[in-house]
Amino acid sequence: MARQHAYDILNQYFLDDSYLNIALNESLQDSHLKRQDKDLCTTIVYGTIQNLIYLQYQLEPYIKGKKVKRKIKTILLMSLYQMIFLNKIPEYAIINEAVALAKQDNFQAGRFVNGVLRNFKRNPLRSCDELSEKERLSIETSHPLWMINMFEKQYGLEKTIKITHEDNTIPSRSARVNTLKMTREQLLKDPAFQKSSLSKDGVFYQKGNIAQSEAFLKGYVTIQDESSQLVAPLLGVQDGEYVLDMCGAPGSKTTHLSMLMHNTGTIEVYDLYEHKMKLIEQNCQRLGVKNVKAHVYDATCLDDIYHSETFDRILLDAPCSGLGVLKRKPEIKYHDSRVMDELIPIQTKLLEKAYYLLKNNGTMVYSTCTINKKENDFMIEQFIKKHPDMKVVHQKTILNYEYHSDGFFMCKMKKG
């Protein structure tokens, strides 16, 4: 049953480029799978997409010149993932399950899958030795070559190797304690939690799914990566201030700001989509946040609502390419590179609106969960050049391998 669910989810992903985490959560929520089977399904889904280019490279000699249906190719890819990476599962069991899945399409498909997988089992893995260093890195870490070239140009080859290998590791189960309800010291009395070092409010969860824990359900913690937890404190909010969070969903940083303001003042939070705004409202309710006003609206048009120099502080956690969170969202690796170029004008426009709405002597933070310098360092350079009254107070890029966290960029600026 675990493989059936994995097959269905992967089929849907290849059909419409759906978000893995949403498809996986919906499938498992509606299933009657045991915990062990849910874990196996999750491993197969994420592992197959995380290693997709490598798996395609290994599969290619066995299907070369053949017309293979998308559904059958999905079965082959997920089976190769299990045979190469999941050593505790017997290969005969993987092949038998694969054949059974293929036979749902037709008997001949089952024979084809059986032949390919048994042939693969008999031969050594395909070597990458004859490829160039960057081509080999692209295949071995399943990052498209354009991304390897971009990282190499921006960070050098040594860091690119570290970044891409880290992207294929298991992300930490990090969370942030909600000090509106308890201190970190009080939470750490629960042995399921361990203290993290990067964020003073951060913890790691040691027992399965945080979202099903009592601490989460009671609002003592919220799920948030350590790097992300550094953004809200950087803004330096004070009690009673009027704060704008321009792109707030799902509310991790919004609620962090509220916590730092001790539920005083007002935080106006915006997002473009109704379903995302509901996530913010649900998070606020669970965490006991009282000072947030949530709105569905296009943040690039906020000057239609507010006068210039309205807010004491502004957080702009901008929509971005997400290249810092590839270990959590591996499907982003296969997005068209043009997506980034389409985002840059939006980021530029949002920064302009933030400048207009920020009070003189006010503070703003621009942050992204990407490590692409075109969206980060170069974006800030152009912004400061256009607005010389904006001064950079602090700027930081966190690469994923430095703390085994997400990759993140944050820049604190002062106006006037």
Residue 220 main-chain phi, psi, to 5 deg: -80, -25
The reply to whether omega before 250 is within 30° of 0 (cis) is: yes
Give how far Cα 319 sits from Cα of 209, 346, 349, 380, Å: 27, 8, 12, 15
Q: Which of 41, 284, 320, 369 is catalytic?
A: 369
93/85 Cα distance (integer angstroms):
15
CA-angle at 254, arms to 22 and 219, nearest 5°:
70
Residue 122 main-chain phi, psi, to 5 deg: -75, -20
Pairing of strands 242-245, 266-271: parallel
194/173 Cα distance (integer angstroms):
10
Mind giving me the DSSP string for 3-26? HHHHHHHHHHHHHH---HHHHHHH
Element (H, E) at 361: strand 358-368
Residue 63 main-chain phi, psi, to 5 deg: -125, 10
CA-angle at 391, arms to 389 and 395, nearest 5°:
155
Active site residue 369: yes
79/86 Cα distance (integer angstroms):
10
Give how far Cα 278 sits from Cα of 244, 275, 295, Å: 18, 5, 10
283/368 Cα distance (integer angstroms):
21
- Which residues have CB under 8 Å from 157's CB, separation 6+? 133, 134
- Which residues have CB under 8 Å from 409's CB, separation 6+? 324, 367, 368, 370, 371, 375, 376, 377, 396, 397, 398
Task: For residue 389, count other CB atoms closer than 10 A to its CB.
Answer: 11
- The dihedral formed by the CA atoms of 63, 65, 68 and 72, expressed in degrees to the nearest 10: 0
Active site residues: 369
